[in-house]
Amino acid sequence: MAITTKAAATPLGQRLRQDGLPVLVVLTAILLLWYGLTVWLNAPGVIERVLPADGAWAWQQLVAATMDMQRPVMPAPHQVAADLYSSLTGHPLNSPRNLLFHVAVTAQSTLVGFVMGTVLGLVLSVCIVHSRTLDRALLPWIVASQSVPVLAIAPIVLVILGSMGLAGVAPKAVIAMYLCFFPVTVAMVQGLRSPQVIETEMLHTYAASRWQALWMLRLPAALPFLFPALRVGIAAGLVGAMVAELPTGAQAGLGARLLTGSYYGQTVQIWSALVMAALLGLVLTAAMAAIENLALRHRRQA
Amino acid sequence: MSRTPRSAASTALLVLAPLVLAGLFLAAPMASGQEPVGATFWLATLALAALAVAGIRRLAGLEGRKIYASLTAALFGIWVVYFWQLLTVALEVPRVLLPAPWLIVQSLVDHLPRLGKDFTQTVVKAVIIGWVLGSGLGFLVAVAIDRLPFLQRGLLPIASLTSTIPLVGVAPIAVMWFGFDWPSKAAVVVLMTFFPMLVSTLAGLQASNRLERELMHSYGASYGRTLWSLRLPVAVPFMIGALKINATLALIGAIVAEFFGSPTSGLGFRISTEATKMNMPLVWAAVLVAAVTGSVAYALLVALERRAAFWHPSVRGKK
């Protein structure tokens, strides 16, 4: 929501004034709740292991101790923030101890897969719109795949590509690709069909070829359908890239970071990786929204 | 554009005859992997492919009944599976790469009890419980904050943003808190399904128009009465839409959460462990179970939508 372009500046300003305070209040409540949970969840462990066994401790000591554990059940927000800060500033960018390194690894496979999936989806949707056979034979399967957990075949893709000798970015990008591909195809078929009969007939009277009709009428008309699908697609691609990092024993990437954190009980590390994954998701989607604003800026004014 | 209308009878012949031929061809020695593939095999395969394309094109061109569209999709699916079977067996594609469909079905039948246990563990326990709890909580919170526009304005932007966040990443934390068994998976599902339901219900509660609300007001209807008789019914299509999205999300959440660690059963566990053992037919069988589950859940929700939102234009138009 924090996307600023010149065209959207005024409504954003209004929105900030209107929604800024409530959002801030809710965020503060979440933060307080988090601290509450930290105390509540960590207290049993602290009482058992850290505080003097004879019961001679005040509640202040208890609260302080819950927020300063090595491997807490629930790390306090400031512990996660400190871990993030030391990870981001304490190590060079190419060191695996720097979280930005892992973010870059995951973002790279997400973006590569996203671009491939989008191109594939665009090409296929153009084919479907121009071929009745493909429309009737193939489209129902693509639509049906939306209700199926396609992410489940990720391990299969990894095994197949692994036995073909592909490793590194390629398998992760392929998984991100096919997750992006489905929503883009479905939305683009809908969008390419959105021009009304009167518009297609006008191009027909101009003796426009199919390609001209596609280029001048159908593609521009499909853009408002495309962008929401791209936002869905890039978020799905991120999940795909992270899941793809799990079974390979990958050394790098946010998914691998989550897995090693859970192996070694490093809760703070898991939470930092989660925060970075959330931020990456937000940034990727915000970038898509910014491109959307830029591409459709003339229509908004009309 | 001016094609002559084709009769249904000749189309049926063009569709069914190649299927029979294809079935016979499957039994031929060169197609069942007993002989090395030669020129005859490729000629026959190409001829079959041409016939298949012709049949699909003819069926796709038929006008008139709605069933033709579904038949075309089904025919296409049958041919894809057929060529998958034919080529994997004849070319002896390694099972690790791509097992033949027949092997997958065999594996499904052989391991039916085990897959049944996996289904119970993942779907009956984690998915259904998590889906009901998450969607129910989302609905309750939405109704609860309906009278608090301040909270709505604060919560809605945050709730919408969660769709861009890989929430399934909380799986390792859920495992740490709730153990390896199904409660940790259900917890992930609750988290993933809560926000879509919250956002959709809030949107649905706003969907009644001014005229309708003023009519209720003129009847002197109380807040509760307006909610019950006008605003909740109007919100039903929105909520069913969220339930559909949530059904897929719940399956994904439970399966992926099992990749992070689980007891010795569950669809996600089966997929990830059998994949490392290179037992691909069973992996495909587990994926098949998950896919069928997703489709059936979707079909059930569509049926529910027709019943519960029968008055809505989008449903009325389909009849």
Give me the mean pLDDT over the B254-261 stretch: 86
By CB atoms closer than 10 A (0-12, 13-18, 19+), residue B246 is: buried
Every domain of chain B and the residues it spans: 8-93, 109-316
Q: What percentage of chain B has pLDDT greater than the value 90?
A: 37
Subunit contact A136:B59, Cβ cutoff 8 A: yes
- Using the structure block, give the residue that is written with the tokens 């294809």: B22
Judged against a pLDDT cut of 60, whether residue A142 lies above it is answered with yes
Rounded Cα–Cα distance for residues B47 and B53 (Å): 10
Judged against a pLDDT cut of 50, whether residue B1 lies above it is answered with no
Subunit contact B163:A235, Cβ cutoff 8 A: yes
Judged against a pLDDT cut of 50, whether residue B258 lies above it is answered with yes
Please give the residue of chain A at the shortest CA–CA distance from B252: A149
Q: Is A13 on the interface with B (CB under 8 A)?
A: no
Judged against a pLDDT cut of 70, whether residue A8 lies above it is answered with no
- What's the pLDDT at A247? 67
* Preferred mutation among A69, A133, A259, A270 to probe B, highest tally of B CBs within 10 A: A133
Judged against a pLDDT cut of 50, whether residue B17 lies above it is answered with yes
The CATH class of the A99-301 domain is mainly alpha
Banded pLDDT at B6 (limits 50, 70, 90): low
Every domain of chain A and the residues it spans: 9-74, 99-301
Query: CB pairs below 8 Å between A and B: how many?
Result: 179
Rounded Cα–Cα distance for residues B158 and B152 (Å): 10
Residues of chain A numbered 204-243 and touching chain B (CB < 8 Å): 231-232, 235, 238-239, 242-243
pLDDT tens readout for residues A121-133: 999 999 999 888 8
Give me the mean pLDDT over the A280-286 stretch: 92
Maximal CA-CA distance, chain A: 93
Banded pLDDT at A2 (limits 50, 70, 90): very low
Q: Which of B77, B97, B272 sits opposite A247 (nearest CB)?
A: B272
Q: Poorest-confidence range of B32-36, B110-114, B191-195?
A: B32-36
Rounded Cα–Cα distance for residues A208 and A152 (Å): 45
The top-scoring range by mean pLDDT among A61-65, A72-76, B62-66, B74-78 is B74-78
Higher per-residue confidence, A164 vs B136: B136
Closest-CA residue to A81 (of A99, A106, A63): A99
Judged against a pLDDT cut of 80, whether residue A50 lies above it is answered with no
Q: Is A65 on the interface with B (CB under 8 A)?
A: no
Chain A residues closer than 8 Å to B176 by CB: 73, 262, 265, 267
Give me the mean pLDDT over the A17-46 stretch: 85
pTM: 0.85
Banded pLDDT at A249 (limits 50, 70, 90): low
Rounded Cα–Cα distance for residues A77 and A67 (Å): 9
- What's the pLDDT at A45? 80
User: In whole numbers, what is the pLDDT of chain B averaged over residues?
Assistant: 86
Smallest Cα distance from A106 to chain B, Å: 12
Give me the mean pLDDT over the B19-31 stretch: 77
- What's the pLDDT at B197? 95
Judged against a pLDDT cut of 50, whether residue B179 lies above it is answered with yes
Subunit contact B248:A132, Cβ cutoff 8 A: no
Higher per-residue confidence, A200 vs A302: A200
Banded pLDDT at B225 (limits 50, 70, 90): very high
Q: How far is CA A113 from CA A110, A118, A142, B7, B318, in A?
A: 5, 8, 18, 45, 36
The top-scoring range by mean pLDDT among A116-130, A159-173, B8-22 is A116-130
Two structure tokens written together for B310: 């029968």
Banded pLDDT at B66 (limits 50, 70, 90): confident
User: Among the CATH numbers 3.40.50.10320, 3.40.630.30, 2.60.40.10, 1.10.3720.10, which is that of B109-316?
Assistant: 1.10.3720.10
The top-scoring range by mean pLDDT among A127-141, A267-281, B130-144 is B130-144
Could you tell me which residues come within 8 angstroms of residue A22 by beta carbon, excluding any fewer than 6 positions away? Answer: B150, B151, B152, B153, B154, B155
Rounded Cα–Cα distance for residues B314 and B237 (Å): 9
Q: How far is CA B10 from CA B4, B5, B16, B22, B65, in A?
A: 13, 11, 10, 19, 16
Smallest Cα distance from B254 to chain A, Å: 10
Chain B residues closer than 8 Å to A24 by CB: 154
Subunit contact A284:B164, Cβ cutoff 8 A: yes
Task: Compute the half-sphere exposure of residue B65: CA atoms within 13 Å on the CB side of its CA.
Answer: 8
DSSP element (H, E) containing A253: none
Rounded Cα–Cα distance for residues B60 and A131 (Å): 10
Chain A residues closer than 8 Å to B294 by CB: 147-149
Closest-CA residue to B236 (of B139, B149, B157, B145): B139
Judged against a pLDDT cut of 90, whether residue B190 lies above it is answered with yes
Helix B232-259 × helix B128-144 angle, to 10°? 140
Judged against a pLDDT cut of 80, whether residue A93 lies above it is answered with no
Subunit contact B172:A259, Cβ cutoff 8 A: yes
Subunit contact A25:B70, Cβ cutoff 8 A: no
Higher per-residue confidence, A19 vs A151: A151
